């Protein structure tokens, strides 16, 4: 299989688009030999495409050990260590996918795992999350109790514009602290096998009845998903937070649209606890919007506390999503995908054990 020739009339062809992809991609033929490598693959592996062409994949990029058990449907292994042919070791997200209508052909995509903080287990939180836990506990103790006294004193002053202002601001700050306290709760979430479809329907109903009223919310579900090993309240909170985020993202669009999707992903795993095997995460839920996406300077930090692209934003909604997903042993990702590009928040969750 060869990539088509460059486009005509100023339009790029597939060969040019393949070269410009923002991730490292190798195309592997049915004989398990490299047929193409884009510019980022050359850069990441420190080898030219000319040198790699025709070489067995294993000679250039030995697949991770966990890849040996895949079932031919493709697979994804997040935050894994690989060694290149030149002995360079690196942490990457290793994704293999079959090429439709071309039996035996597949692509191997490598994402540098510099941002792998988001893929850690609940016990391996990054410094930002640990700081948020400490800050939440401190603020709850040092600020919330005095706020109650301030509110009570303001009410004793009687009705008036100043009293109303004080009361409103105290309530706003108390609400913010309540949200921060969510980070200080380190108790394990109770996990059970749950049907995700009632949770999706409930979150969609809440959105359409309130903050997303008038915005089209499409559903594209795989109706055959098995139960997921989740906490139903946590997943409901996650979905509502993501739908709120999507609603804000499409506020300036002429035809705003939010899409909720589900799928079963074979071979998707994450690192387990030290000394434990990798954990399969086959249940995928996506919340997609046609907004402009996050600014480039904060895209890698969206799940950090207090990071927001909106001046009025508190930067806690996505951080809470990250915490709750971790507590269930899953992964949350942000990406810009498709043509035209759309914003995708992807949840990858474990399947319930029968």
Under 8 Å CB-to-CB from 173, ≥6 apart: which residues?
143, 147
* CB burial of residue 217 (10 Å; 0-12, 13-18, 19+): buried
Q: What is the pLDDT of residues 216-261, one digit of tens each?
A: 999 999 988 999 999 998 899 899 999 999 999 998 888 999 999 9
The pLDDT score that the predictor gives to residue 144 is: 55
DSSP code for 212: T
Under 8 Å CB-to-CB from 294, ≥6 apart: which residues?
302, 309, 334, 343
Of the chain, the end-to-end C-alpha distance in Å amounts to 42
Under 8 Å CB-to-CB from 251, ≥6 apart: which residues?
291
Using only C-alpha atoms, the chain has a radius of gyration, in whole angstroms, of 24
10 Å Cβ neighbour count for 91? 17
pTM: 0.60
Q: What is the pLDDT of residues 107-163, one digit of tens each?
A: 888 876 544 344 334 444 455 555 655 555 555 655 655 666 666 666 666 666 777
Could you tell me what percent of the chain has a pLDDT over 90?
A: 23
Are 242 and 291 contacting, i.e. CB atoms less than 8 angstroms apart? Answer: no
Mean pLDDT of 193-208: 93
Find where tokens 């329907």 sit.
201
Are 78 and 113 contacting, i.e. CB atoms less than 8 angstroms apart? Answer: yes
Q: Is the pLDDT of residue 196 over 70?
A: yes
Mean pLDDT over the full length of the chain: 77
48-57, 160-169, 206-215, 322-331: least confident range: 160-169
From CA 54, how far away is CA 31, in angstroms rounded?
A: 9
Q: Is the pLDDT of residue 285 over 70?
A: yes
The pLDDT score that the predictor gives to residue 121 is: 40
> For the chain, where are the E strands, in sequence order?
24-28, 34-37, 75-83, 89-98, 106-112, 192-194, 216-220, 228-230, 257-264, 268-270, 279-280, 283-289, 331-337, 342-349
Are 101 and 81 contacting, i.e. CB atoms less than 8 angstroms apart? Answer: no
* CB burial of residue 71 (10 Å; 0-12, 13-18, 19+): exposed
Are 124 and 23 contacting, i.e. CB atoms less than 8 angstroms apart? Answer: no
8-17, 95-104, 252-261: least confident range: 8-17
């Amino acid at each position: 299989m060869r990539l088509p020739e460059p486009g005509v009339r100023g339009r790029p062809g597939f060969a040019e688009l393949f070269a410009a992809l923002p991730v490292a991609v190798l195309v592997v033929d049915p004989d398990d030999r490299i047929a193409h490598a884009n510019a980022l693959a050359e850069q990441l592996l420190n080898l030219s495409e000319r040198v790699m062409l025709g070489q067995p994949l294993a000679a250039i990029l030995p697949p991770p050990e966990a890849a040996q058990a895949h079932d031919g449907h493709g697979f994804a292994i997040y935050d894994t260590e690989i060694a290149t042919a030149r002995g360079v070791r690196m942490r990457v997200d290793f994704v293999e996918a079959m090429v439709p209508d071309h039996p035996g052909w597949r692509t191997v995509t490598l994402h540098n795992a510099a941002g792998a903080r988001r893929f850690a287990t609940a016990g391996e939180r990054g410094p930002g999350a640990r700081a948020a836990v400490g800050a939440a506990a401190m603020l709850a103790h040092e600020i919330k109790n005095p706020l109650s006294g301030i509110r009570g004193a303001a009410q004793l002053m009687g009705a008036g514009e100043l009293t109303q202002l004080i009361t409103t601001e105290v309530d706003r700050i108390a609400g913010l602290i309540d949200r921060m306290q969510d980070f200080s709760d380190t108790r394990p979430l109770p996990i059970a096998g749950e049907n995700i479809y009632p949770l999706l329907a409930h979150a969609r109903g809440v959105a359409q009845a309130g903050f997303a009223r008038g915005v089209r919310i499409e559903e594209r579900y795989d109706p055959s998903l098995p139960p997921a090993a989740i906490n139903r309240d946590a997943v409901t909170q996650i979905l509502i937070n993501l739908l709120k985020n999507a609603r804000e993202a499409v506020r300036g669009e002429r035809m705003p649209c939010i899409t909720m999707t589900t799928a079963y992903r074979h071979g998707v795993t994450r690192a387990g606890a030290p000394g434990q095997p990798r954990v399969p995460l086959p249940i995928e839920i996506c919340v997609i919007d046609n907004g402009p996406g996050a600014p480039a300077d904060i895209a890698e930090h969206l799940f950090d506390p207090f990071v927001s692209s909106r001046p009025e934003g508190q930067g806690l909604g996505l951080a809470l999503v990250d915490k709750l997903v971790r507590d269930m042993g899953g992964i949350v990702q942000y990406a810009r995908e498709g043509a035209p590009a759309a914003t995708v928040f992807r949840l990858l969750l474990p399947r319930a054990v029968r």
